[in-house]
Amino acid sequence: MKYKNIFLVVHDIDISKNFYKKILGLHVVLDLKSHIVLKGGICLQSYETWKDMIHKDDQDIVFPSHNQELYFEEDDIDFFIKKLNEYNVTLIHPLKECRWGQRVVRFYDPDGHIIEVGESLRKVAKRFLSQGLSREEIAKRMDMPLDCIKEMIK
């Protein structure tokens, strides 16, 4: 068996396609009008087609579900935050720092699917190194094996 894709059910496939392209830089690999495959294995499925495929009624399909998220990493998280603000994206929370030092933001796509964009862990390790932390201190701060930290900051 081979994992292929995740489907996100969307009300307006063109709005969602533009959102994922403009905000996350995901380009269309295949466009079948009611089903779009984006780079990275994310598929957008039209609401009506999905409803017919699984034989459900409107009340059976819930938006937003708040039980999953798409996760991305970005080297320049500050620039990305500016982009979110420029496009007036609805944030779940502003940029915040996790206990392991990674800065993250969560927001909604046009249909209420949760997206998290975090500063790349490599960037976090290099930031800590530039602040004068030793490799051992970084490993402890990030709760990661020393070998992983050494690999990240090569």
CA gap 110, 121 in Å, rounded: 27
Q: How many domains does the chain have?
A: 1
Contact 30, 37 (CB under 8 A): yes
Half-sphere exposure of 134 (CA within 13 A, CB side): 3
CA gap 21, 27 in Å, rounded: 6
CA dihedral 32, 5, 20, 16 (to 10 degrees): 50
Instruction: For residue 146, tell me if it sits in a domain.
Output: no
Instruction: For residue 60, tell me if it sits in a domain.
Output: yes
Can you give the CATH number for the domain in which 22 is found?
Answer: 3.10.180.10
Instruction: For residue 18, tell me if it sits in a domain.
Output: yes
Chain segment 3-36, per-residue pLDDT in tens: 999 999 999 999 999 999 999 999 999 999 999 9
Chain segment 92-143, per-residue pLDDT in tens: 999 999 999 999 999 999 999 999 999 999 999 999 999 999 999 999 999 9
Instruction: For residue 84, tell me if it sits in a domain.
Output: yes
Instruction: For residue 141, tell me if it sits in a domain.
Output: no
Instruction: For residue 127, tell me if it sits in a domain.
Output: no
- Residue 83: which domain range? 6-119
| Mean pLDDT over each residue of the chain, to the nearest integer | 96
